[in-house]
Amino acid sequence: MNDELMDYDEVLERFDPVLGLEVHVELNTASKMWCGCSAAPGGEPNTRVCPVCLGLPGSLPVVNGKAVESAIRIGLSINCQIAEFSRFARKNYFYPDMTKDYQISQSDEPICHDGWVDVEVDGQGFRVEVERVHMEEDAGKSLHMGGAGRIHGADYSLMDYNRAGVPLMEIVTRPIMGTGRYAPQVGRAYMSYLRDMMKALGVSEARMEQGNMRCDANVSLMPKGSDVLGTRTETKNVNSLKSVEGALRYEMMRQGAILAKGGKVKQETRMWHEDGEYTTPGRSKEQAEDYRYFPEPDLVPITPSREWVEELRATLPEPPAERRKRVIEQWGLSEREMGDIEAVGALDLIEATVEAGAKPQAARKWWLGELARRANEADVALDEVGMSPAQVVELQRLVDAKTINDKLARQVIEGVIAGEGEPAQVVEQRGLAVVSDDGALSAAVDEVIAANPDVAQKIRDGKVQAAGALIGQVMKAMKGQADAGRVRELIMEKLS
């Protein structure tokens, strides 16, 4: 990195930043965009391919209806209009990872247009206007062998077309102005909003680190008081929230230094280097590439009926940001407690457990505690741990009824996960119920007192804390299946 940078505060004194975010979202449909090949990530190279996604002459694409449905739901979720007539277009360019020599995309007739998203940074609200959402296909992957894995210095390259033809949505904003000092954070908050929304919609895995959601981050600077847009740079394929913020901030500081010296920002794509946190030039865009867009002749236009659009609107989830606010309020959580739930990815399960009748506090305790621990141990997702929200409700009911205590509850969880049945059945079959039958308890207490005359004497002398040791021994003798409160009462009765 040898760019000259302007101090961030000085940038803001002299310029207004303008952002433009192009976000690619890879859908999680079962099949690809134009053929029946699996769209699942990975697989042995070139095993999920057919004449259509390999672009062989004479093959014909057919639109994946589920992908169109996802595109419309994405559009609706960010307040877009859904086009009554939308067409695919060929975007012509040559690149080895795209054997057709054109990408089927959409140009001036996208499926969704004119939406918006509201984000919040430091308590301030910003509206991000969305120009369009369009559908296209992903390309294959080039693997550069030998050297450092880059094309430069490689001995040869291998092609894997498994990803070719996977449905890809592109969400493009209008130029975002008026964000000032918060520009990089607004970019990040917008990405974060989209990521959470894609997950809530269930249309994409939306894992930025795995590349199924990535952002081209455009930014330019306008001298204060001007209303003419400056020249933008486009940092390509930024793949984490932190990097979106970092790349925007870096470019603002780099461009500020150039403009302050009377220089011109070059319109180009740039690459973000996560390790050193700087950008370097990619492709120059001075001679804008001519993609020779024209309507795709092999596909019919998309004309979604208004009824269908309304049906899809009815399937939209509560926006994640609103849900978060509601949950924090309803359950009386601190920001940190909410953060813990999010870190484990347990909100859906906890909410389902609350809806099934548990108190939020209890639902949180089991999902974030014992169940998270077991999921972690088995290396599975929390919702695959083997216990349902209804079973957690049942478990807590047994605890509340004092049939079991927390310690025994953990054994019940173990049994349920092992497939031994419902919580009550596990209690029954494993004989886990707490013994509150005074006869059995009383006998155990007598035995422990007899075996520990010194401790017993201390308690008689008023050292009540000493009772803990005796309670522990009784619990041990009863294999944990005693009501500890009742044991304490009995000890005190007998020694007073």
Residue 166 found at the interface with Zn ion (CB under 5 A): no
Interacting residues with ligand ADP between 11 and 40 (CB under 6 A) = 18-22
How many residues sit in the footprint of ligand ADP (CB under 6 A)? 16
CB of 270 to Zn ion, least distance (A): 33
Quick check: helix, strand or coil at residue 350? helix
Q: Please tell me what DSSP assigns to residue 384.
A: G
CB of 32 to Zn ion, least distance (A): 5
CB of 59 to ligand ADP, least distance (A): 28
Nearer to ligand ADP, 19 or 139 (CB): 19
Residue 211 found at the interface with ligand ADP (CB under 6 A): no
* Contact assessment for residue 238 and residue 208, using Cβ atoms and an 8 Å cutoff: no
As given in the structure block, the two tokens for residue 172 are 């493009």
Contact pick of 28, 173, 185, 212 for ligand ADP (by CB under 6 A): 173
How many residues sit in the footprint of Zn ion (CB under 5 A)? 5
As given in the structure block, the two tokens for residue 335 are 């920001």
Nearer to ligand ADP, 268 or 348 (CB): 268
Residue 118 found at the interface with ligand ADP (CB under 6 A): no
Break the chain down into helix, strand, coil percent, rounded to 5.
40, 20, 40
Nearer to Mg ion, 104 or 408 (CB): 104
Task: Select from 464, 377, 444 the least CA-distant residue to 413.
Answer: 377
Q: Please tell me what DSSP assigns to residue 298.
A: T
Residue 104 found at the interface with Zn ion (CB under 5 A): no
CB of 113 to ligand ADP, least distance (A): 13
Only one of the segments 42-50, 89-97, 369-377, 446-454 lies at the binding site for Zn ion (rule: CB under 5 A); that segment is 42-50
37 binding partner (options Zn ion, ligand ADP, Mg ion, none; Cβ < 5 to 8 Å by kind): Zn ion
Residue 234 found at the interface with ligand ADP (CB under 6 A): yes
Q: At what angle do helices 320-331 and 183-201 cross, to 10 degrees?
A: 90
Sole residue written with tokens 């308890």 = 441
Contact pick of 50, 154, 172, 299 for ligand ADP (by CB under 6 A): 172
Contacts of 122 (CB under 8 A, 6+ apart): 182, 185
Residue 139 found at the interface with Zn ion (CB under 5 A): no
How many residues appear in the chain?
496
18 binding partner (options Zn ion, ligand ADP, Mg ion, none; Cβ < 5 to 8 Å by kind): ligand ADP
Distance CA 496, CA 493 (A): 6
Nearer to ligand ADP, 1 or 229 (CB): 229
How many C-alpha atoms does 366 have within 13 Å on its Cβ side? 33
Cβ count near 134 (within 10 Å): 25
CB of 50 to Zn ion, least distance (A): 3
Task: Select from 397, 332, 407, 330 the least CA-distant residue to 358.
Answer: 397
Q: Provide the binding-site residues for Zn ion, judged by CB under 5 A.
A: 35, 37, 50, 52-53
